[in-house]
Amino acid sequence: MLSLRRQAGLTQERLGERAGLDRRAIGRIENGLAPATLDQLGAVARAIGVPLWRLVCDE
């Protein structure tokens, strides 16, 4: 997710705004400190503009 966010030119804060999530939640998900729900992953994928499978198969 981190590399896709960076490729999209988004900060954690901006991605959080677009996805309807808190910036801290984005950070915890990216750092593996908290599992993401399917709903959260879907919101992040839409916010970045990629299909959901890209988040799951990335990195």
Q: Note the pLDDT tens digit of each residue in 13-43.
A: 999 999 999 999 999 999 999 999 999 999 9
The domain defined by 2-57 carries CATH number 3.40.50.970: no
Q: Report the candidate in 1, 46, 37 with the shortest Cα–Cα distance to residue 19.
A: 46
**Is the separation of the CB atoms in 4 and 58 below 8 Å?**
yes
Q: Read off the pLDDT of each residue in 2-19 and give the average, rounded to a whole number.
A: 95
Predicted confidence at residue 58, as pLDDT, reads 54
Give domain limits for the chain.
Answer: 2-57
| Angstrom distance (rounded) from CA 11 to CA 57 | 21
